[in-house]
Chains A and B, each alone.
Chain A
Amino acid sequence: MKPSEAASGKERKNEEIRADYKKFIGRKVLFISLSLVLIVVIAGIAATLGSYQIAVAEVYAIIWHGLFHNPETTKELVIWNLRLPRIVMGILAGIGLAIAGTTMQGVVRNPLASPYTLGIASAAGFGAALAIILGAGFVTGKYLIIANAFVFALCSSFIIYGLSRYKGSTPETMILAGIALMYLFSAMTGVLQYLGKEEAVAEVVYWMFGSLGRASWDNLPIVFAVLAVCVPLLMLKSWDLNTLSAGDDSAKSLGVNVDQTRVMCFMLASFVTAGIICFTGTIGFIGLVAPHICRMVIGGDNRYLIPASGLFGAVILLSADTVARRIIAPTILPVGLVTAFMGVPLFLYLILRRRREYW
Chain B
Amino acid sequence: MVKLKVTDVAFNYANVPVLKDVSIAVETTEFLGVLGPNGAGKSTLLKCIDRIISPQKGSIVLDGQDIKEMSRIELAKKIGYIPQSLSHAFSATVFDAVLMGRRPHLSWRTSEKDTEAVLDTLHMLHIEDLAMRDINELSGGQMQKVFIARALTQDPDVLLLDEPTSNLDVRHQLEVMHTIKSIVRKKGISAIMAIHDLNLAARYADRIVMMHNGTIFSAGEPAAVLTEENIQRVYGVEAEVYHNNGKLYIVPTRAIKHSDGKSG
Contact = CB atoms under 8 A, between A and B. Distances in A.
Interface of A: 10, 13-14, 17-18, 20-21, 24, 109-111, 236, 239-240, 242-243, 245-247, 249-250, 252-257, 295, 299-301, 356-359
B132 A17 contact: yes
Interface residues of B, number: 42
A257 B81 CA distance: 15
A256 B103 contact: yes
B79 A18 contact: no
B119 A111 contact: no
Q: Which 8 A-B pairs have the closest CB atoms?
A: A255-B76, A300-B90, A253-B81, A255-B73, A245-B89, A255-B104, A109-B89, A358-B136
B50 A358 contact: no
Nearest to B108: A236
A80 to B, nearest CB: 39
A252 B50 contact: yes
Given A17-B128, A245-B90, A250 B81 contact: yes
Contact of B136 (A255, A256, A356): A356
Interface stretch (B4-12, B25-33, B93-101, B222-230): B93-101
Contact of A20 (B81, B87, B131): B131
Given A255-B73, A359-B89, A21 B103 contact: no
Interface string B117-151: 00100110000100110001000000000000001
B150 to A, nearest CB: 8
Given A243-B103, A245-B89, A299-B91, 14 more contacts: A14-B119, A17-B95, A18-B115, A109-B89, A110-B89, A111-B90, A236-B108, A246-B100, A247-B83, A247-B85, A252-B51, A252-B52, A254-B104, A255-B73
A21 B100 contact: no
A299 B90 CA distance: 8
A175 to B, nearest CB: 14
A300 B92 contact: yes
Scoring A21, A247, A356, A357 by chain B CB atoms within 10 A of each residue's CB, the highest score goes to A21
9 contacts: A236-B108, A240-B103, A243-B103, A246-B100, A249-B83, A250-B81, A253-B80, A254-B76, A300-B90
Contacts, number: 106
Given A239-B103, A252-B72, A358 B91 contact: yes
Nearest to B153: A254
A156 to B, nearest CB: 24
Contacts of A20: 131-132
B47 interface: yes
A357 B91 contact: no
B75 to A, nearest CB: 7
A300 B90 CA distance: 6
B128 to A, nearest CB: 5
Given A20-B132, A246-B88, A247-B83, A254 B96 contact: no
A254 B122 CA distance: 18
A13 B154 CA distance: 22
B92 A245 contact: yes
Contacts of A256: 72, 103
Contacts of B255: none
A20 B97 CA distance: 16
B251 interface: no
Contact of A24 (B52, B108, B132): B132
B2 interface: no
B256 interface: no
Nearest to B119: A14
A301 B95 CA distance: 11
A110 B128 CA distance: 30
A258 B31 CA distance: 30
Nearest to A105: B90
A358 B231 CA distance: 40
Given A255-B103, A358-B136, A17 B119 contact: yes
A301 B92 contact: yes
Contacts of A10: 123
Nearest to B100: A243
A22 to B, nearest CB: 11
Interface in B167-220: none
A359 B115 CA distance: 26
B24 interface: no
Contacts of B132: 17, 20-21, 24
A255 B72 contact: yes
Contact of A245 (B79, B88, B122): B88
Given A253-B81, A357-B136, A295 B50 contact: no
B231 to A, nearest CB: 30
A22 B47 CA distance: 36
A239 B106 contact: yes
Scoring A24, A240, A295 by chain B CB atoms within 10 A of each residue's CB, the highest score goes to A24
B114 to A, nearest CB: 11
A20 B96 CA distance: 12
Nearest to B85: A247
B101 A17 contact: no
A14 B93 CA distance: 16
Contacts of A358: 87-91, 136
A255 B102 CA distance: 10
B89 A249 contact: no
A24 B93 CA distance: 10
